[in-house]
Amino acid sequence: MRVIRMLGYLGLIIYGLFILGPLYVMIVTSLKNINDVFSIPPKLLPFVDFQPTMEAFEFVANTRVLYAFLTSLGVATAATAIAVIPSLLAAYGFSRYKKAAMNDERSFFILLTLRMTPPFAVVLPIFLYWNLFKLYDTYFALVWTYSVFSVPLAVWLLKGFMDGIPLSIEEAAKLDGYTFMERLRKFIIPVLGPGIAATIALVWLFLWNEFLFALKLGGSNVITYTSYLPQLRVGQRIMWNVLGAIGVLGAIPPLIIFLIFRKQIIRVYLGR
């Protein structure tokens, strides 16, 4: 029995290295000067193999990359804000009125297919749609597209959390004389609190990481940190250290969100 346990631990450690290795490499690259990036033997230990510099991060701070990060932040936040309230109402409908028209399982399934739509199949028509309205390369176009695509995910998550609240609590509030809006504001949202926060975080994260739409709907004016990356590969000299820096900065929000909402994230996938 002990041997199996040892092998098990070894397996976990190997998998841990498999995950952490590339992340470590990214962080190391972001601290390198452009010439130190690739060399034989590989320079992997800061202070030992190379002098870490903040060169890449300074580049990010002083060029449009910073602007790209702020755009990502703004667009993701705006789209999440637009999507959350309507999704909350819809999730309430799907959770409480399973038999009513537009709230039954079939409509929920249709919403699910929206969440599964492949971006590559719809990016062209959306591109043409915004051109139609002369809104190509504008914030509104990207934010609205993002909110449309975040609604299915938001509703799916919120419905999961809302199913966790016993119906009797709501009916008790009904008996206490509270109207629907008051019940939502005073009882469902506070009790659902962590669930809503986790949903907002996860939907925001989904948009923070989006690439294809940002690439095609944005242009010179609207550019997110993900759609900026290809521009660092123009010509022969790929700015690897800046790519590393952007990768590190882009990875901070997911880490924070996973730390804060670990319980809710596990609970969301529990139901499925």
Of residues 252-271, those binding another protein (CB under 8 A): 254-255, 257-259, 262, 265-267, 269-270
Question: Interface mask (CB under 8 A) for another protein, residues 108-137, using x and -?
Answer: -x-xxxx-xxxxxxxxxxx-xx--------
Strand partners, 153: none
Q: How far is the CB of 70 from another protein (least distance, A)?
A: 16
- Which residue in 22, 54, 140, 164 binds another protein (CB under 8 A)? 22
Contacts (CB under 8 A) with another protein, residues 73-92: 82-83, 85-87, 89-90, 92
- Which residue in 50, 69, 136, 240 binds another protein (CB under 8 A)? 240
**250 is a site residue for another protein (CB under 8 A):** yes
Return d(Cα 56, Cα 116) in angstroms, integer: 37
**174 is a site residue for another protein (CB under 8 A):** yes
**231 is a site residue for another protein (CB under 8 A):** no
Contacts (CB under 8 A) with another protein, residues 37-76: 37-42
Toward another protein, which CB reaches closer, 51 or 179? Answer: 179
**8 is a site residue for another protein (CB under 8 A):** yes
Return d(Cα 257, Cα 180) in angstroms, integer: 31
Q: How far is the CB of 52 from another protein (least distance, A)?
A: 17
Toward another protein, which CB reaches closer, 58 or 171? Answer: 171
Of 47-55, 60-68, 148-156, the window that binds another protein (rule: CB under 8 A) is 148-156
Q: How far is the CB of 3 from another protein (least distance, A)?
A: 13
Contacts (CB under 8 A) with another protein, residues 186-225: 187, 190-191, 193, 205, 208-212, 215-216
CB 212 within 8 A of CB 123: yes
With vertex at residue 150, the alpha carbon angle to CA 145 and CA 156, rounded to the nearest 5 degrees, is: 150
- Which residue in 81, 171, 185, 219 binds another protein (CB under 8 A)? 171
Task: Give Cβ neighbours of residue 138 (< 8 Å, ≥ 6 apart).
Answer: 130, 221, 222
Toward another protein, which CB reaches closer, 177 or 235? Answer: 177
Of 46-54, 56-64, 177-185, the window that binds another protein (rule: CB under 8 A) is 177-185
**11 is a site residue for another protein (CB under 8 A):** yes
Binding residue count for another protein, defined by CB under 8 A: 109
